[in-house]
Amino acid sequence: MTPGRATLRGRLTLRVASALLVVLAAGASLAVWASVVHARAPKPVVTIERPGQCVEATDVMRRDHMKLLLHQRDRTMREGVRTKPHSLAGCVECHASAKTGSVLGEQGFCESCHRYASVKLDCFECHASKPERVSARAKP
């Protein structure tokens, strides 16, 4: 065995070892990162104030509530049909928190889920987030 060859083999081993180390380190940091992320995004708090009374089945509402609202929105705005089933006011009336009286806030029915899903919720920049009676009581 010539000294040149020995050095080559040594270098190869070193490379393999360092590559392994890099992979291991990356794996470990990924695991740490994943656990941090997991800790940062707790599941949304979904408190149903009046269970079993929703206008559609839960899976339909989860997937399609925005479509129902959009349809009802145009009916209300353009044609003046303000019947309850899929109106935003109807959602708010039923789902406003008993504690805060609102669907917004960290534990609010709408906001907690939208925050978790990272979907912008701009309905309530214009619409009332509290039902009529609570809004009426609130001071300007």
Partner 1 sequence: MSEGSRRAFLSTAAAALAGVAIAPGIRLIEIAGARAPEEAASAKVRWGMLIDTAKCATGCTECVKACNEENGLRDTGRPRTDAQWIRKIDLKDLRTGRQHSAPVMCQHCAEPPCVDVCPTGASFKRADGIVLVDKHTCIGCRYCVMACPYKARSFIHENLAEQKPAVPRGKGTVEGCTLCVHKIDRGDGSTACAQACKAAGHEAIVFGDLNDPQSAVSKRLREIPSIQLRSDLRLNTGVRYSGI
Binding site for partner 1 (CB under 8 A): 73, 75, 77-83, 89, 92, 125-128, 130-132, 135, 138, 140
Give the nearest distance from C-beta 60 to partner 1 in angstroms: 21
Residue 125 DSSP class: G
User: 131 near 93, Cβ under 8 Å?
Assistant: yes
Give the nearest distance from C-beta 81 to partner 1 in angstroms: 6
Give the nearest distance from C-beta 29 to partner 1 in angstroms: 41
Which CB sits closer to partner 1, 89 or 94? 89
